[in-house]
Amino acid sequence: MVASEVRALFAVASRPEVVSLAGGMPNVAALPLDQIGELVRDVVAEEGPAALQYGSAQGDPVLREQICDYMTLEGITASPDDVIVTVGSQQALDLITRVFVDPGDVVLCEAPTYVTAINTFSAFQAEIRHVAMDGDGVVPEELDEALTRAAREGRRVKFFYTVPNFQNPAGITMTAERRARVLEICERHDVLVVEDNPYGLLRYDGEAQPTLYSQGSGNVIYLGSLSKTLSPGLRIGWALAPAPVRAKLVLAAESAMLSHSTFNQLVVRRYLRTFPWREQIKAFNTMYGERRDAMLGALEAMMPAGCTWTRPEGGFFVWATLPEGIDAKAMLPRAVAERVAYVPGTGFFADGRGRADMRLSFCYPTPEQIREGVRRLVGAIEGELDLRDTFGSTLAPPTEGSQAPAPDLP
Ligand code: PMP
């Protein structure tokens, strides 16, 4: 396990004068906090002894029923027996890796992929192999080739990890056609798919795509979370898994933490029972949609020639690529001096790629702050362009073969 090299810079970046386009923190201040306060008080008043007691490692049965109801919005029909509540979907990633991965096993991930998934897979000594993406999601031929190559080498691929909706960090959504092909390929190679979908309901335009889980035939583990649609502080996520897998995940969860926070589960249970949570998700979508538009508008208006970026239909992130010869990590101190922060792309690859890339998040700052942040970012890029034009490339020499230390940001 390695700490992020850019951690010290992020300490500076969290100062109030810096516009942070770096973190992925949901804007929980938009929740009606007084009503949530009342709800918490009611849990203590009406269910105090139960709320303060141990619970099970699989999670509260009523909450698991409510999670099944929630998942119908994603087109998933599931039984509460197949759901295991987890401490955010992050714990589900940890449990799945713990159960499936032996040192040296191969895990396939999109390129780029979610930074903390890289950290988790690396902690269990998986060999992470990236599979290329384009604007429609992972490239099926590349996935097939990666699986064929691993088989030829006699290597065990334990699963393919994907974030199909508004991917963190790339903002890309996998098309329905691609989803069908991914399932066909993984089934043919007898490999599990881990479908991580914390952002699926945060869609600002376009059509919802079917989940891989609902189209698959038993080889998909689905991960959900209330972190982005309610609160990450309550730490409620879940895995939906075929029965034999679910049983092992429950055993692993028991040894990791004995029982969930009964209290948090009862708070969420009451929230889902008494609160107009579907309306709350719509309100989040209106707010985040405005922020997404502010970022895309500002990038369109201000970014220098040679920069490219993705146009997410939902979620929190835009992935931007800098002009030829500019290194996003080398540029970060200059950006922080300009009072803007972002996450350099290298953190989202296990193999040192991503030097020209950066992740820009639009979930936390206001639209005005986003526009100002992009203006400052453009100032930093123009400074680097001057440097490049005077001295040549600002790209650091490649760090071939090393697993890049990743920034530990959500
Ligand atoms: N997966 C992805 C793709 C994420 O972006 C995040 C949070 N940033 C998580 C999993 C973990 O979220 P949580 O544990 O809060 O559910």
Chain segment 64-121, per-residue pLDDT in tens: 999 999 999 999 999 999 999 999 999 999 999 999 999 999 999 999 999 999 999 9
> What is the length of the chain?
410
- Asked if residue 4 has its Cβ within 6 Å of ligand 1, the reply is no
In the prediction, which pLDDT does 270 show? 97
- Asked if residue 161 has its Cβ within 6 Å of ligand 1, the reply is no
- Judging by DSSP bridges, how do beta strands 127-134 and 343-344 pair with one another? unpaired
DSSP E strand stretches across 71-119: 83-87, 106-111
Centroid of ligand 1 to alpha carbon of 171 (angstroms): 14
In the prediction, which pLDDT does 402 show? 45
In the prediction, which pLDDT does 122 show? 96
Centroid of ligand 1 to alpha carbon of 136 (angstroms): 21
Question: Which of 75, 215, 74, 94 has its CA nearest to residue 84?
Answer: 94
Positions in the chain short of pLDDT 50: 401-408
In the prediction, which pLDDT does 398 show? 58
In the prediction, which pLDDT does 185 show? 98
Q: Which ligand 1 atom is nearest residue 236's CA? A: 16
Kindly tell me the sign of the dihedral angle through the C-alpha atoms of 317, 323, 327, 333: negative
- Asked if residue 173 has its Cβ within 6 Å of ligand 1, the reply is no
Paired tokens of 195 = 């479908």
- Asked if residue 88 has its Cβ within 6 Å of ligand 1, the reply is yes
In the prediction, which pLDDT does 11 show? 78
CB under 8 Å to 241, separation ≥6 — which residues?
82, 84, 221, 222, 249
In the prediction, which pLDDT does 199 show? 98
For a pLDDT cut of 90, what percent of the chain falls above it? 88
